[in-house]
Each structure stands twice: as C-alpha cells, then as structure tokens.
Structure 1
C-alpha cells in the first residue's frame, strides 16, 4: 500500500499531494523538488496511479488518506470533492492548498474558510494567474482603474472538463477583476448561447465605478488570454499567454515589453510552503477563493435566467 521514503524525509515538513491526475502530477513534482519540503506522500484512490507517480518522483504514496497525518496538503481533485477532503485535514491541524475553484458551492467554500480560521491553519486557493508576471506587473503599476476587459478563449480539449466554462476558465478573470477593482461587484449580468457550458460573457459593475467585461470560451480556434485595463492615465494590455505588457497613454504606445517568465505553479506552491512554515500570508487566501466562487455563482445564475439568442 504505502511506500516509505528515504533519508531526505527526515526534514520537518510533510505534505500530502492529493490527486495524481494530469494537474496533480505537476503539483507533486514541484513539491518533491522543493528544498523546504522534507516528505511528500502522493495520495490517490487509484493505488496503481499513486504508486507509479511516487516511483517516478521517489516519494511515498498511499490510497488511504486517513492513514497519514501530514503537516499540509495540496488538493488537486474534482471540485465537488474539495470540502470532503479538505475539512477533515483542517480539523486535524493541517494547512491546505486547494486548486481553484475553492469548492463546488458557496456553502462549502464558507465552511472551509470558517474551518481554517477555527484551526488557525493556512488555506490557500490555486488562482494561478495572480502569479503571472504580466498580471503582477500590471497590478503593481495601474492606478485609478476604471474598466477591465478580459478575454480567455481556448480551443476544445480532447477530454472536456467536467465543470462549465465559468468555473473552468472565467473564474480566473473573475479573481483578477476582483483584485484590480478592490471590491465585490454590486451588479452582475451574463449571457451564454449554450447556457454557459462552453462559452459565456459577463459584465460586473462595482460600487466604486469600476466595470469589468469578461469573455470565456472553450470553442476558439486559438488560445487567447488577454487583459485590458483602463486607468486614470491610459490603457494597459497584458497578454497573459505570451507574457507581454503594453501601455498606451495619450493615444500613443508608451511601452510594449516582454515580461520575464517564471514557473507560476512553483511560485504559488513555494508561497504556500513558506506560509505553512511561518512566512507571509498567502496572496490568494481562502476568503479570496470564496469571493471568486461567489461571483462565479452569480454569473451562472444570471446565465440561467437570461434570454440570450444567437443572431440569424
């Protein structure tokens, strides 16, 4: 069942990497190579899959989460299982990193946030675009934001995600919009030709006067991840996929530069590890993850009640 790791595991921090699927494998790889992590245990209900990944990385593994007591856990499993896995870990005093969205419902998200506060542990949510260098550069320089436009379009995937396009793609830009606006939206409107399964558009209006137009699709012939932000002095355009940031002021291009790349996944996991060890508070807290989910749920509800019609 469980393979016990070797001498490197004598260090203090023991992290469970839960979920050995396509994305969970990347989490596990980074954790197994992190200099501040002493032991990693791969956890997956498919024991053969967990054992294979653990063998590749030289870590421990188990298919029985209850058999281990990690200091922290990174959860990359289907969204509907987030609360059921995270809540018992938190109750035992483990800090938790949960892939976005934080949970399947607002109720589950609120329960996880409350549980982490009671236990006094770290709860971080994997909104990875916060760690995109192009966004970080824009967010640090934009002043007096008035309008945000986000376009996140992907080609169809061979195996479509279980969640709809709002929870899969748009939620990234919901989180970025909330960060730039510095508030929750007062009103939300949204439409989608297919009920929001593969494409959706939404508009957020904030009490401070900021507006945000969001567009997400899983039907595009090309990949687009572009964020355009109007502020008091001009317009920023961040190409989050290409890693470029352009600035227009007075109708002329003031700057258009490549932003130095980094491994965004490692950066957010490194922040989590350091927070667990007593470092600074994570950038994306459980409350931030719950806020993004709450807006996503409002968008989904607006789509469900809209009368969007495709033009002839």
Structure 2
C-alpha cells in the first residue's frame, strides 16, 4: 500500500488497478435451466384437443413465474386470456397465435383463426395448435385400434352429408323434428367394439315407418367417458338381416346392406326407443364401407373428433 501522511488516520490507500473480465463457458451447475426454442412445461385441465406451447425466446428473461391460459365469452365473442398469478391480463385475443411452420400447414378455412403475431411475455411466446371454439363439423380420424387378422379389415365409410340425425331429419317431411345434442357430446370419440354378444340398438327403416330393435355385431363406446352407450340404426335400403358370414374367411363377416349407426350419448340400456324424435342425445350418422369391410369378434375401430375449447372448463 501507499502511505500518505496527510490522509485521515486509520485510512489505508491502495493504487488503482485495472481488472479484466473475459467471458467464458458457464461453470459446472451454472448453465441456464432453459435454452431458446425450448418448450416450457404446461398442465391442461379439460377435454379440448387444443395444444398450447410456451416457446422460449430469451432464456435470460425467464423469471420462473407461473401463468394461466383461460377462455371466456365477452359480448357473445369468445376470447383467450393469458394471465399471471396476480390475475393480471397480459395478452388476450379471439385469434390464436401460431408458429410460422404450423400456420403454413393450416387448410384455407382455418387460416382466419390463427395469427403469426405473438406477444413476448417473460422471455417466451405462446403458440396454439388445433385450437377452436367451434363444434366439430366432421370426424378427424377413423382408424382400427385392434385388428389381429391381416386378411380382412373394418373400413369406415364416413358420415352422412347431413352430419347428425337431427340435420338429416330436417331435410325430410317427417314431423316433429328432433334436436341435436351439443358440442360437449358431438366432440366425443366413438369406438366400435366387435364382440360375440354384440348389443341391442333402436332400428329405423328407410322411411322411418318401422321402429324396432336390432342386434348389432358390436358395442358402441364413448371413449372420453369410458362407457358403453346406446345406439340407433338407420337402414338406408333393404331390410334385416344386415350381415352374413364371409365365404372367404372362416370366422369373419360381411355387411350386406347400407346403413348408418347413430351414437346415442347416454348409458347403454339394451332397450329401444319408442320414436325417432324425442331423444335429444342422438348424434352423428356413421357408416361402414359395406363393399370392403370384413370383420371379426375382437376388432376395435375408433372414430375421433376434434374437441373444441370450452370457456370455464379448459385451462392451461
């Protein structure tokens, strides 16, 4: 040290020294918890198929605070809200933010629902995939879940152009008209489980002048609810029976008539309905490809629908 006789007592002076700091790699245990482009963890409550991804933009701005994404209706318009734990609204819109890659894959009719402009919050942006407030208009996939015999297959024939039973009857002179179930039912995935015992469904002939029951070679299940449900059978042409043994494969069966299966979103009872209009839980008109379907007991076939977001139910 340098001594100054004029300095105050008990004061020590040191000469000025330059200190050089050289940036280097992080030490052991000192790395960032997240890197740019990482996706942060998210917890979903609800049944929607929408996916929200918090993507890291600047890891140095991450604070570790928790956030919520919720949905609400304002003046008959549904919005999403990004909030912090103090319930402050940080971002809101009716349009869902998306990454450029996802935006490029969207069909034309979905483009107005998504935007590429994202707000940076706490070092990350939130993007959405498969997000919609609208009820499903058609199925999203139809696949065999179990099929142990490679020589045959259950082939889905799609939905009736009208979609639901209520919409189909609306185009006929039949009165009174049935009412369709809401989105909370139409979004449910349906599984056809082919069994030895089958199940009983309500039967309607083509003119809906005959209301009876029919033994189906499968059970109808609601996947999200994990329960067997009732079903109705609309015979587009011909009469019962509607399937027979496949002459080419022992133990397999072919459908012989054109028909539609209608899921009825209520617990299975094994009894038929007394009319075509009073049950408000009759959903989609689904059909199998009669020409190309050959089925066996044990087959399981699933038809899935995109689950929309429900305000007050879904949170992220």
TM-score, normalised with respect to structure 2: 0.22
Q: Which has the higher contact order (CA 8 A, sep 6+)?
A: 2
